[in-house]
A = this chain, B = another copy of it.
Amino acid sequence: MSSAPSPASTVPATKPHAFAGVFTLLTPHLAELDRFLHGQLASFEPEIRAMADYCIDTSGKRIRPALVFLSGWRGPGIVEPDLVRVAAVVELVHLATLVHDDIMDEADVRRSRRTAAREYGPTAAVLLGDALFAHALHLATQFPTTEICAAVSDSTRKVCAGEIVQTLRRGSTNVTRADYQRIVDLKTAELFRVSCFLGARLAGFEAGYVDAASRFGRHLGIAYQIYDDLVDFFGDETRIGKTLGTDLASGKLTLPLLALLDRLPPGDRAGLTAEIKGERPAQLALRLRQMRELGVFALVADAVQAEIAAATAALQEWPTHSPTPLLLGLCDVLRTQVAGLRPRD
C-alpha cells in the first residue's frame, strides 16, 4: 500500500475554518468545551495523562461540537452542561479516529504539530486512540439513560467500518461512485448526523425535529467531505497549509478522481489507473489540467451543492425552530467556500 506523502517539514499555516462566520456565535460554548475536555484529563491514568492532553489540542476545527451546540440552540448565551458533555463525547471520538488515521497515513504533522504517532510511536498511538474512544463512551454513560451511549457507540462502529472500506480500496481502481458515497456516508456523514441528533435530542426538541436535524447533519457531512476532497485538488496550497494531491498520491479514489477517470479517453485512462495503483508516480499538474479541461470541478461542485440542497430541504418544514436559521447559515458558508475554489480559466 502506498502512503500519503509527508507534508513539508515547515510548519503549515492553519487551514481557514470552513464555517468561520457561524462560529463566532459559539465562542462561549467552545471555550466551555475546552475547559470541560481539559477537566477530563484527571480521569485518565497518570501515566497517559500528558499523552491524552497532547491529543485534546485546541487548534482543532471543532465542527462536530459546533453541530451539537447549533442543533440544540435555544438562544444566545445559553451554554447547557448536557450539550457540552455530549459535544466532548463526539469530539473525543473524532480525535481518536484522527490519532488512528495518522498512524495509517504515516502522517508527520497535523494541525501544525507532530502527530501522536510520530510523537509517541505507532504502537502507543494505537492504544492512545483506544483510550480516547473508551473515555468518550464512558462520558456518554453519564446521562440518565443508555440512549446517548447507544447512539455514539453505533456511530463509532459505522465510522470505523467506513474507514476500513476506504482502506481496503486504496490503490484500487475498482471503486464505483456508489462505493464512494457509501464510504463518505459512513466515515464522515455518520458523526455529523449523530452530532445533530444528540444536540436536538438533548435540547428537548420534538421527535420530528430531531429526525430532521439528523437528516440535515448527514447531508451536510456528505457535502463537507466532498468539499474536502475537492480542496485536495483545487485548494490553495499556501492557504490550506498542506500539500495538494495527497489523495492521488495515496491511491484514494475520491470523487474528483472518479469523475476524471470517467471522462478521460480510454488511452489516457490507463496512465491515471497506473498512478492510482502506485505503479507510476502521480502526475498532479497534468491531472489538474485535465480536470479543468473536462469539467470535473463543476461536476464535483454540483455534487456538493446537491447535498447542501438536501440538507436544506430536511429543515424546510421547521423554519421557526431556533436551530434552523443557524444550521442553514452553515450551508451558506459551505456554498461560498466551494465557489471560492473554482479555478479561473
Contacts and interface: CB of A to CB of B under 8 A. Distances in A.
Contacts of A140: 149, 153
A126 B105 CA distance: 12
Copies of this chain assembled into the complex: 2
Nearest to A158: B45
Contacts of A194: none
Nearest to A123: B104
A140 B154 CA distance: 11
Contacts of A157: 43-45, 131, 134-135, 138
B51 A127 contact: no
A337 interface: no
Contacts of A127: 100, 160-161, 163-164, 167
Contacts of A164: 47-48, 51, 124, 127-128, 131
A225 interface: no
B134 A141 contact: no
A198 to B, nearest CB: 14
B47 A167 contact: no
A129 interface: yes
A82 to B, nearest CB: 14
A137 B134 CA distance: 9
A144 B145 CA distance: 8
A325 to B, nearest CB: 34
A178 interface: no
Contacts of A141: 146, 149-150, 153
B47 A161 contact: yes
Contacts of A186: 45
Contact of A146 (B128, B133, B149, B161): B149
A54 interface: no
16 contacts: A44-B157, A44-B161, A45-B165, A47-B161, A47-B164, A48-B164, A103-B123, A103-B126, A124-B168, A127-B163, A133-B133, A133-B134, A137-B137, A137-B153, A137-B156, A141-B150
